[in-house]
Amino acid sequence: MSSSKSSNVECVGKQDWTSEYNHIDCTRYYRELMDKGQIVERCEIVAKYTERCLLPLFQKWAIDLEKPLKFLDVLCCYGNDTLAYTNAYYQEDYAKTWASEETCYQIIKPRQFPVKTLGIDISVPALEFGKKAGIYDEIKTLDLNNLPDMDINFLEENCKRANILIMNSLNYIKEDQIHRIIDWFSGGKEPGMIAVGFIYPYDIPERISRYKEHLLEKLKFFGSVSMMNRYLREAEALSFGPEFGTWRRVYYEIWYLTRNE
């Protein structure tokens, strides 16, 4: 099974999580990032924001289109964010299932709206887990920093077709590729929402500004939510602290924008 190294494009000092991203199932990812790092808290915030602000829209779109919505998670890993959006997973739901090898393939809440899911990532084991667990209907292994022409076409088509596109962990991907994904998504014809997660500081403050400017040029602002991403490991904290003044945590902001009609 491949174990693709996930290298940060520019952010020096960030912990290397390659082995957590390439384990056979989500349990290491859950233990190290979601539980110890407390990413699970932001997943619950996403789930509750979705229930309150996004679900009515998604349900209406599915009725108007008379078909399930297409949901695309770019850099999906095992599918923790997808589960928050599509199945309204709370902290207790991940804890009940994702913490143990015996239960991690179980999904204990149904999808909350008619939806078909596609997960894209470089990690074959993470994607295979997501498919086997039923989080993803389709999966596609892509190295987003090195795309052959055939895969560029696949990604472009699926960004245009997506009614919901979520994208986090921008620090792994070259800046121009993120801009291309935004352009492709904005070229879609059906109703659509993009959710982009920005992590401060390791998505690089200047880059975050450029992504936001680009999003506002191409799409219509819908809303945003702020939260903690995770606790830092000691070495990361030491390397980030002097420049950014954050010694314990990295922070997270999600922007939601819709396609212009």
Ligand X SMILES: C[S@@+](CC[C@H](N)C(=O)[O-])C[C@H]1O[C@@H](n2cnc3c(N)ncnc32)[C@H](O)[C@@H]1O
The binding site for ligand X (CB under 6 A) comprises 6, 21, 39, 75-77, 80-81, 121-123, 126, 142-145, 168-169, 172
Q: Which is nearer to ligand X, 177 or 191 (CB)?
A: 177
Q: Considering the complex, what minimum distance in angstroms separates the CB of residue 255 from ligand X?
A: 14
Q: Is 230 helix (H, G, I), strand (E, B) or coil?
A: strand
Closer Cβ to ligand X, 159 or 191, answer by number: 159
Check if the beta carbon of residue 118 is closer than 8 Å to that of residue 72. Answer: yes
Q: What type of residue sits at position 242?
A: P
Least separation in angstroms between CB 205 and ligand X: 19
| DSSP state at residue 224 | E
Task: Name which of 76 and 215 has its Cβ closer to ligand X.
Answer: 76
Q: Measured from the CB atom, is 146 or 209 closer to ligand X? A: 146
Minimal CA–CA distance to 163: which of 127, 113, 208? 113
Cα 75 from chain centre: 6
What are the φ/ψ torsions at residue 19 (nearest 5 degrees)? -70, -30
Closest distance of CB 139 from ligand X, Å: 12
Q: Which residues contact 221 (CB under 8 A, 6 or more apart)?
A: 215, 255, 256, 257
Residue 107, both tokens = 């999904």
Pair of tokens at residue 12: 């020096």
Nearer to ligand X, 75 or 159 (CB): 75
Shortest spacing between CB 80 and ligand X, in angstroms:
5
Angle made by CA atoms 165, 46, 73, in degrees to the nearest 5: 25
Least Å from the CB of residue 52 to ligand X: 21
